[in-house]
Structure formats: structure tokens, C-alpha cells
Amino acid sequence: MATLICGSLAFDTIMTFEGRFAEQILPDQLHILNVSFLVPGLRRDFGGCAGNIAYAMRQLGGVPLPVATLGNDGADYLERLRALGIGTDFVRQIEGTYTAQAMIMTDRDNNQITAFHPGAMMQAHLTRIEARPDVKLGIISPDGRDAMLQHAEQFHAAGIPFVFDPGQGLPMFGGAELSHFVDLATWVTVNDYEGRMLCDRMGVELHDLSRRVKGLVVTLGGDGCDIWEAGVKTHVPAVQPAAVVDPTGCGDAWRGALLHGLEQGWPLARCAMLGNQLGALKIASRGPQNYQVDATVLAQA
């Protein structure tokens, strides 16, 4: 069975700042902020939420189908997806635009500053989602605003259960819109900051929110994650990584593992544990799509 992954395909330009952002930014001078960071390390990777999640699922043996758009510079990304065995049935190229671009700067404490140009992503709503016999699951991850709204409605109309993962796209929506997303979704995933913002905008608490879906997961970075089911919280501890090299794409690796587990019909706690394992594996590699899942990870799942 296949999983539809709605979100961005992007090129990530990843830069390494050897100092600490906090030492370069004066809190009392934010109103006249003018800073420059020397970044000796720079590389370009394939990225974007849909691409990163699809990569993780494929590493685990799944059948991911990204629902995303590329610009006229996206031929290399299409070729890469096909080489990985990831279907491109729902990947559309938009002429006259660039593929989405993320410029990510990481300091020595793994804090990140990101600038994002959406490009072709803003046309993602042109691709419709309809019922298909081989599609079992879906996810709404950060994408163009119209695409997120329309794809959620289309998943619901097609009877396809899906994860609502608003991520960096959360600030685009007001409380009523977020509440509607939750009512359409089967599961919700957020990090701790996004969880606070989501609850604040909806005017609810996490335990109340969890009663409106089958499961709610709040990821906590190096502290693992909390699972909420029917108002009850369960903590799933973190997995210690072999090394902390690059956090870019860790959340997407986690979500790919979550979807893999949900596709197998696992309990949510088991899905989250595999997510923590994959996140730990990813953070030890540079770039969002350069780690390899070995038999050890699969055996522990």
C-alpha cells in the first residue's frame, strides 16, 4: 500500500556558522538588527518536507508518493526520486518558477536560522487528491496555504486517514482554520513550540485536543516525545544518537517512521519509538537525505 505525502520538494543550501547566534545578537538592539555571519561550511542538498519524509519511508521499505511541485530547475530532483524508487505520479513541474529553496544556517549549538523561498510550492494546490485503491494513508505537511487547505478537504472526502503536521506552516492559519484541520485529520503531530501555538490559537489544552483525534504527538527534540490518546499522556524516551552532526531533516525522518508504523497498524507508542530511532540516526549524518537505515533499526522496531 502507498502513502500520499503532501508537502514541499526543495533544495536546501546548508551553511555552518562556527560560533553561537546568541553571542552575535544583542537583545536590546533587535529594533536595528544588522548582523552578518561568516559560514565556512556550505553545501546543497535535496530537501523539503515531502522529499525528506518520502526518503525516510522508502528507507524503511514503504511506498511513499510525494504530492508536490517542482520548478523548471527540478529535473535533477525528479531523477533522484525515481532512482530511489519513489513514485512521481503526483509530482508536477511548474514552468517559469524555481523549485522551493531553503537557506539554512546552523550554529555550534545546532540552533538554526532559515530563509525560505516557496517558488513552485505555491502552485501545489493544482494537484488534486482522489481515492485510489493502493493509497492507505496521507500526511499534510508544510506546503502552500491553498494546498494545505484543499488537500485536507480532499483526503477527508476520499476517506483517506491522514496526519496533520502543520510545522512551519502553522502561523499561516487562524484558530477556526486550525480547528477545522483537526476535525478532518486522524492524527496530529507538532513539536513542543508548535503545540503551544496550536493550542493557543484554538483556545484548548493538549489533553482536550487529543480527544478530537485518534492520536496527538508532541515531539520534544532530545527529550523524546509525548503521545496523547483520549486525554492521556504517555512519554516515549529519546534514543541517544551516535553523534550530533546536523539536525536538518530530523523531524521529517521522524514523521516518515511514524507513517511507516501507522501503515503497519502499530500502536502509536511503537510508531513514535521508531521515529525517535530514525531521528537519532539522521542527526548523525549531514543533510536531510543522506543517512542509511540498516537491519539493526528495523529489527528494533
| CA nearest neighbour of 5 among 193, 167, 224 | 167
The predicted-structure confidence for 213-247, as pLDDT tens digits, reads as follows: 999 999 998 899 999 999 999 999 999 999 998 88
The predicted-structure confidence for 9-53, as pLDDT tens digits, reads as follows: 999 898 999 999 989 888 888 888 888 999 998 989 999 999 999
pLDDT value of residue 248:
85
Provide the annotated active-site residues: 252
CA distance 124 to 249: 21
pLDDT value of residue 39:
93
* Residue 247, C-beta contacts closer than 8 angstroms, at least 6 positions apart: 106, 110, 112, 283
Residue labelled with grid coordinates 486550525: 178
Long-range contact pairs involving 270-275 (C-beta distance under 8 Å, separation at least 24)? 270/301, 272/217, 272/225, 272/227, 272/236, 273/236, 273/239, 273/301, 274/60, 274/301, 275/219, 275/225
pLDDT value of residue 26:
83
Measured CA angle at 55 (ends 246, 219), to 5 deg = 55
| CA nearest neighbour of 70 among 59, 58, 82 | 82
Per-residue confidence band for 210, with pLDDT thresholds at 50, 70 and 90 = very high
| CA nearest neighbour of 168 among 260, 102, 212, 110 | 102
Mean of the per-residue pLDDT values of the chain: 94
pLDDT value of residue 299:
58
Asked whether 50 and 30 are in contact (CB, 8 A), the reply is: no
CATH superfamily of 2-22+38-300: Ribokinase (3.40.1190.20)
Angle between helices 49-59 and 250-264 (to 10 degrees): 50
Residue 162 grid cell: 491522514
pLDDT value of residue 114:
87
pLDDT value of residue 297:
67
The predicted-structure confidence for 72-85, as pLDDT tens digits, reads as follows: 999 999 999 999 99
